[in-house]
């Protein structure tokens, strides 16, 4: 196959490209320049798309003996990922920019451009597994968790959808540990073998998310109130807070019980941040929209509620609401209007509108959707089957 390997300048993508070469594919490397104002160097493990990263990607391509190009996708990145990040926070929601980047950049802009240029697939250094199952109607591609659960990225990849799974390669899906990847990179003579992993929000290189939001959205002073409506503090912009946040609340009045308080809600219309005790963050019902369905789950979760007023059947599953959070036992069904209703066994804490929820059957991804609201269920849900 003709394969376009996305080279970020890090060790994972370099080893993934090397494995694609070993597999006999005709590989071309490409580095995506996503920042409009790229720094010369990275700030340790923060940031991405520096000129240093592009240079590391080029050197990796040279070692592998493959052609290399730099594609400027900064305008697309700004207009989709960064714009979504700002609009979601301004609306009082909590976005995941990695999910949006995978959706709009890596498996939309990059893959679509690769296919238009005659490539058969895109190869990345993501930690996830693809499993192809033979059926009477032809092969079915499934997205599964990585063998390295500590690095698993199926949560942020689920948004790509089933249709694109046949056009991607994840050569690191069966790798047991990151140490194994670094050792392989060193043995191959790849200079990025000891390069630190990047983390946090790539386009907020200094890690100051609140400062980034204030710079882009402007200061909007307002009140921090408790659940009775009493003003207990002030803020410079409700958009800078997220459900479950404890630090940086600038609360001037201690709680009556002396316990710490957390952000319960962000109300953008009134520019108010509502705080309360931690137990008020516990929820067991999640309603989500914009569902992306995989395989057999589409027949269950895609029926019963999209056009009618009757909910669909319950589907037993596992639900995960954070990239590195635990998956918990749950049930999901479609409701009127095409929403997903998810009930969890026990409680989840601090689930915010805007977060991604991914449903699993063991290691297999069943569905992904965006949280719109949460609540507490008064009684247990009866699940058929």
Residue 383: pLDDT band by 50, 70, 90 thresholds?
very low
Q: Return the pLDDT at 39.
A: 54
The active-site residue out of 48, 49, 98, 202 is: 202
Residues 316-355: pLDDT tens digits? Answer: 999 999 998 999 999 999 887 778 999 999 889 999 999 9
pTM above 0.85, yes or no: yes
Catalytic, 202? Answer yes
48 is known as an active-site residue: no
Per-residue pLDDT tens over the stretch 161-175: 888 999 999 999 999
Catalytic residue among 98, 101, 123, 317: 101
CA distance 242 to 96: 12
Q: What confidence score (pLDDT) does residue 381 get?
A: 43
Domains of the chain: residue spans and CATH: 2-187 (3.40.50.620), 222-280 (no CATH), 282-375 (2.40.30.10)
């Amino acid at each position: 196959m003709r394969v376009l390997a996305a080279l970020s300048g890090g060790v994972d993508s370099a080893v993934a490209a090397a494995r694609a070469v070993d597999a006999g594919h005709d590989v071309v490397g490409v580095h995506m320049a996503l920042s409009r104002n790229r720094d010369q160097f990275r700030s340790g493990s923060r940031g991405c798309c520096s000129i240093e990263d592009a240079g590391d990607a080029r050197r990796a391509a040279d070692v592998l003996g493959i052609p290399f190009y730099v594609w400027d996708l900064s305008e697309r990145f700004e207009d989709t990922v960064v714009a979504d990040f700002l609009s979601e926070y301004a609306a009082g929601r909590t976005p995941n920019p990695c999910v949006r980047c995978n959706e709009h950049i890596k498996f939309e802009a990059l893959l679509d451009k690769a296919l238009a240029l005659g490539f058969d697939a895109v190869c990345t250094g993501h930690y996830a597994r693809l499993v192809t199952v033979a059926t009477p109607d032809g092969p079915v591609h499934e997205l599964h968790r990585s063998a390295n659960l500590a690095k698993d990225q199926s949560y942020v990849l689920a948004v790509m959808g089933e249709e694109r799974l046949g056009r991607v390669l994840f050569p690191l899906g069966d790798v047991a540990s990151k140490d194994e990847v670094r050792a392989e990179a060193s043995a191959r003579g790849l200079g990025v073998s000891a390069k630190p992993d990047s983390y946090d929000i790539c386009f907020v290189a200094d890690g100051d998310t609140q400062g980034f939001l204030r710079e882009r959205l402007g200061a909007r002073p307002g009140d921090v109130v408790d659940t009775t409506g009493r003003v207990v503090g002030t803020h410079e912009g409700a958009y800078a807070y997220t459900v479950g946040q404890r630090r940086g609340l600038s609360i001037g009045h201690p709680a009556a019980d002396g316990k710490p308080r957390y952000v319960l809600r962000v109300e953008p219309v009134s520019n108010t941040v509502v705080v309360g005790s931690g137990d008020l963050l516990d929820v067991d019902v999640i309603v989500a929209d914009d569902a992306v369905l995989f395989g057999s789950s589409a027949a269950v979760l895609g029926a019963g509620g999209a056009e009618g007023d009757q909910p669909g059947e319950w589907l037993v599953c596992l639900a995960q609401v954070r990239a590195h959070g635990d998956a918990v036992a749950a049930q999901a069904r479609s409701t009127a209007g095409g929403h997903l209703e998810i009930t969890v066994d026990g409680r989840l804490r601090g689930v915010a509108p805007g977060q991604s929820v991914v449903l699993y059957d063991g290691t297999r991804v069943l569905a992904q959707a965006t949280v719109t609201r949460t609540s507490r269920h008064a009684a247990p849900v009866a699940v058929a089957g």
